[in-house]
Structure 1
Amino acid sequence: MTLSDYLIMVTISQYSSITMTADALYLTKSAVSHSLAKIEKELGLPLFNRSTKSVSLTTYGEQLLPFATAVLNEDRKFRDQIHSLQGLESGIVRIGTNSSICSNWIPGILNSFRKEFPNIELQVRSGACNQEIIEWLIRNEIDIGIGCSDANPAIDIEEVYQDEMICITDPYFRPKNTNYVVAEDVKKTPLLIQEYPYNEEVLKVLSNLNMTSDTCFTGYDDTTLIAMVESGMGYCIQGKLVMKRITAAVQVFSFEPKQYRNIAILLKHGIQQAAATKEMCRYIRNYAKNFPTAYELDLLFVPER
């Protein structure tokens, strides 16, 4: 039986009339009669006694009516919950991102969102590389990803912010031009880099600038790489956002030409997004739009250039 069948059965019991049921449901009298006959045939039981003036429930109909009513009530509850979610009265939003976005953006975004929508549950998974964020989306483990991605048929990508990729060196490094670094400046300096796929943004910079290094060392996270640079082991390449909350005795340089990573809102393609998810995307979009691109880093070492 379909929901329409249950509705017809319950409505007939309320009005005790095929004609009035048809009027209430905006159906023809013959459509109601046909549906009732189909229902009884499917169940193998007579549900209503018919007379020229009215219809009344049979014993079978009386026993089954509470269950038909319960089905309609549960359907109503389901639809009410959908309306509630669409009205942003309740729901959940799951966000996945990397450490630099999590530490710099997520607190501000979530605090603002919660003030307007206090009943929406918010969950954040962080510390991931871009590949992991995309995998989480595809497996429906998160609703929104914030990260970088090349074109992917499984993902909808909306770029919202350009984060400059910068060269991090020890305090004693001196490029030929004091304002920026080119490939030749670091050719003989060891490169400190995370293992794949955590290094995919750095690999793009190396490819764009045709940069090579005689020696490479790997580290397991951003802070480890910065500490290695600080101790004089080599240089590394990071998004500027990574350095915003790290205090270290290092130097930072732009590349020539400047390099960027495009931070984007990532959504699983082909999915109807809940109202809470759409609203969170709006908050992320606005936060990124107003987040500065020109800001000073809190370095322990400020070189004289």
Structure 2
Amino acid sequence: MNISQYETFLKTIELGSLTKAAEVLGYTQSGVSHMLNALESDCGLKLMVRDRSGVRITADGQQLLPYFQGICNGQHNLSEKINEIHTLESGLVRVGTFTSVSAQWLPGIIKRFRGDFPNIQFELLHGTNEEIENWVINGRVDCAFVKIPTKQQLESIFLRRDPFVAILPENHILAKEPFLSAAALSEYPYIKLDESVDDGITEILESHHIKPNVCFVEKEDYAIIAMVDNGLGISVLSELVLKDTARKIVIKDLEFPADRDLGIAVKDKNMLTASAQKFLGYVQLWILEEYGPTP
């Protein structure tokens, strides 16, 4: 049994004639007769009576009729849904992300994307870099913003190098210095980003043998910015998270090189949904327009 047999049966019953059904479906009359015979043989039932007056459905055929209709309607709906997905009339993009990207990049990217594809929905999952990579591996998300190179075997696209910078209260004694020294990090009260969400700052400080004078440990970037604004200490955060901040803080370069490379990662580009593939393109285009070509 196959969908063509069901459709032929339904059209024949609807029109009451093999000849008319053959004309509408684009088959020969013998072709229609063959499909109907095959359907009855597969079911082991007499589904219709054919005589000179036309075609009439049997009691057994009447019982199966709604099931054939359901299968054909389901096939039609499936074809429509597949077409919608290909034309991005519907879909869901699941994205792994973290605070700075969610605040500074995603609103602009999603606004641009949904301007062209308003029916695509988004699910955003926030986590640490390790958690996000695992979500990509196990299929929890379609794609994810990550620090690259990734620890997992993922396909990644470089987006932007994000410097780490120092932040100080506006009235800090070092506020007018051209940069913040390593010695200053060890001398003045330091507000540390918690290890569980550390963007790589601790690793960089340790590589330069710097031991900050840690007085507070906080999980949220924006809470650290507020604490610095209130004169509770100095800190080091990514430049991205500080974009457009209204807090009364001073942002300084560090005297040593410190940055992270940000990208977007997937498990296998070839296995992405049409909407997720399109989203990747919009991410790259938005970054290019926002920051210009990568040096």
Q: What are the Cα deviations for residues 92-112 of structure 1, in whole angstroms up to 9, with x where unaligned?
A: 334342222222222322222
Q: Which aligned pairs between 1:78-93 and structure 2 lie closer than 5 A? A: 78-93=78-93
User: 2:4 maps to which residue?
Assistant: 7
Q: Which aligned pairs between 1:116-265 and structure 2 lie closer than 5 A? A: 116-125=116-125, 128-137=127-136, 140-153=139-152, 155-170=154-169, 171-174=171-174, 178-265=177-264
Deviation of the 1:150 alpha carbon: 4.2
User: 1:292 maps to which residue?
Assistant: 291
Deviation of the 1:269 alpha carbon: 3.8
Summarize the Cα distance change of 1:172–1:131 in structure 2 as closer, same or farther, 3 Å threshold: same
Of 77-86 and 104-113, more deviation after overlay is shown by 104-113
Summarize the Cα distance change of 1:149–1:57 in structure 2 as closer, same or farther, 3 Å threshold: farther
* One-letter code aligned to 2:5: I
SS at match of 1:164: strand
User: 1:296 maps to which residue?
Assistant: none
Distance 1:227 1:65 in 2: 68
CA contact (8 A) 2:6 2:72 kept: no
Q: Which aligned pairs between 1:92-103 and structure 2 lie closer than 5 A? A: 92-103=92-103
Please, which runs of 5 or more residues in structure 2 have no aligned partner? Answer: none
Q: What is the Cα-based RMSD across aligned positions, in Å?
A: 4.0
Deviation of the 1:91 alpha carbon: 2.5
Distance 2:207 2:173 in 1: 22
SS at match of 2:261: strand
Q: What are the Cα deviations for residues 67-104 of structure 1, in whole angstroms up to 9, with x where unaligned?
A: 22421321121121111121022233343422222222
Summarize the Cα distance change of 1:226–1:10 in structure 2 as closer, same or farther, 3 Å threshold: closer
Deviation of the 1:222 alpha carbon: 1.6
Summarize the Cα distance change of 1:250–1:62 in structure 2 as closer, same or farther, 3 Å threshold: closer
Distance 1:68 1:12 in 2: 9
Deviation of the 1:166 alpha carbon: 0.9
Q: What are the Cα deviations for residues 254-297 of structure 1, in whole angstroms up to 9, with x where unaligned?
A: 2344322222223344773222222222221111122238xxxx
SS at match of 1:238: strand
SS at match of 1:197: helix
Deviation of the 1:210 alpha carbon: 3.1
Deviation of the 1:116 alpha carbon: 1.8
SS at match of 1:291: helix
* One-letter code aligned to 1:218: V
Structure with more of its chain in helix, by fraction: 2
CA contact (8 A) 1:195 1:220 kept: yes
SS at match of 1:187: helix
CA contact (8 A) 1:16 1:56 kept: no
Q: What TM-score, normalized to structure 2?
A: 0.73
Q: What TM-score, normalized to structure 1?
A: 0.71
SS at match of 2:161: strand
* One-letter code aligned to 2:147: C
User: 1:67 maps to which residue?
Assistant: 67
Distance 2:290 2:106 in 1: 12
Deviation of the 1:45 alpha carbon: 4.3
State the number of aligned residues.
Answer: 278
Of 279-288 and 143-152, more deviation after overlay is shown by 143-152
Distance 1:228 1:12 in 2: 74
Distance 2:279 2:269 in 1: 18
User: 1:105 maps to which residue?
Assistant: 105
Distance 1:91 1:149 in 2: 28
CA contact (8 A) 1:164 1:260 kept: yes
Deviation of the 1:207 alpha carbon: 3.6
CA contact (8 A) 1:88 1:276 kept: yes
